[in-house]
Structure formats: structure tokens, C-alpha cells
Amino acid sequence: MPDVLFEKKERVAWVTLNRPERRNAISVAMLEELTSSLLESERDREVRAIVLTGAGRGFCSGLDLKDAAAGKGIGGDALGGEGSGVAHIGTRELPTVVLHQLDTPVLCAINGAAAGYGLDLALGCDIRLMSDAAKLLPGFARRGVLPESGGTWYLPRLVGWAKACEIGFLGDDLDPARSAELGLVNVVVPADRLIEETSRWAAKIASNAPLAVKAMKRLYRHGLGEDFEAHSHHVLVQLMALFRSNDFKEGVMAFVEKREPRFEGR
């Protein structure tokens, strides 16, 4: 079985981490397959939303510490092994970097523990729905490392400086209630309804104008590094392009005719 499963359901791409026997711990193959699935989804004009989740009881347990301790897999070379096997993967090809660059909305269905790299991966998604049986495990300091795949960038922006320091320096497990209180997840869902509720959110996003949604996400991302005046200029440029789209015309006509719009992404 592949380390990542990929399936398209109507206008939503479902990407599932698939090493359930290791709680979806990261492998070299998983990094490569995850990047490939994300890029394929981005290129497909029919895909309007992406869902990332994990197979089995865990979302992603991060670095495979059993492999690393045995001197193999990612990080194995640091413990006297033959090599990590990731030297051929450039920074721009890493899933967390690719994830940040996508214009297609990405929802994360956190079905179980999200630790280390798995936590960074979840934080890189646009919307996070969390099972009431899941946990976020930011225990980097207890392993002698740091959030290496986006966490140091995302956490201060999501929760503020002081809370980011609390999360990182203490390294305490975060249950669903605390995760929601901190604003790390959008909603907590009963475990048996997580996929159903995620599907509902994804379908609703996919029913909206895809050009507008992608432009919105792109501008959110750029706005994190722009001053207000420069950002306002870029918003205006994008708005002029959207005014010329068939989707804008459809949105206006649907409003006038009091019906649901049928967007084509053109």
C-alpha cells in the first residue's frame, strides 16, 4: 500500500496519510507522495478543496523515532545510521512548503494525535476540524528539537507571541478543548462525525466561486508580509480580474434571480 492515499470525490481531493501501524509517522516515501498529491490537486481545475487526514487512529505522529533510533529513515544518520534518505528532496519540494504555497483551500481532519511534523502539517492547513478523541502534541523541546516544518512561523501568527512560547517551551499535550480555546482548531467534532462534518465544510467551500476563493487565500498569504497600502493595491488588481470573470456574472445573476449560483471557475 502507498504511504499516502489519494482520492477525488466530486470537487474535493482527499489526501490520507497511510501508515496506520506507525500512527502515520513520516517516511521518505510519505514526503514524496504527499507533495505529489498536493501538487496534483492544485493543478486539477475540477478540484476546489483538499482534505488532509490520517488513516487509522492517528493523524501523524511526526518523525518515525523507532526508525531513527535504529539508525535508518529520516534522522537516522544523526544517530549513526547510513543516512536519512531525504538529501535529494529540495526545500521547495517539501510538503509543508508546498502546502503553504497552494491557492486551493486545504482542510485538515485531525482524527488522532498530531505530533511533531504532524502538528506542523496540520498548522499549515487553512481550516482544522479536530476529533474529540484527538490531541495536539507539541513536545519538540522534550525531544531536543524545534518545530522544523512551519511551526515556528505559524504559531506566533495563530496564537500570539506569549501563547506560542507557552506551547513550545512547556511542550504540554493539548486536548481538544484547549486546542479550540487557543484558536489552533476551528471546531471540535465527535470522532464518529469528523469525516461527515469535514465533508460538509469542504462541499460548501467547493460550491463557492473557486476563482474568488483562491484569490482570497492568495491575498491572505501575501498580506502577512505586506504593508496595508501595498496590500490594498494588490487587492484592487485582483478584484478587477474577478470582475471580468464569468463567475462574477453568475454570482450577480444568481442574486438577482434568487437562486443558488452555479460557478464554473472561469
pTM summary value: 0.89
Distances, alpha carbon 192 to alpha carbons 118, 134, 156, 255, in Å: 21, 12, 32, 36
CATH of 209-256, one of 1.10.12, 2.40.50, 1.10.260, 1.10.10: 1.10.12
For 51-92, what is each residue's pLDDT tens digit? 999 999 999 998 876 766 666 556 545 444 455 555 555 566
Here the cell at position 151 is: 511551526
Mean pLDDT of 206-223: 96
Domain boundaries, the chain: 4-206, 209-256
Domain 4-206, CATH 3.30.70.260 — does that match? no
Question: Quick one: DSSP state of residue 184?
Answer: S
Here the cell at position 120 is: 506542523
For 142-189, what is each residue's pLDDT tens digit? 888 888 788 999 999 999 999 999 999 999 999 999 999 999 999 999
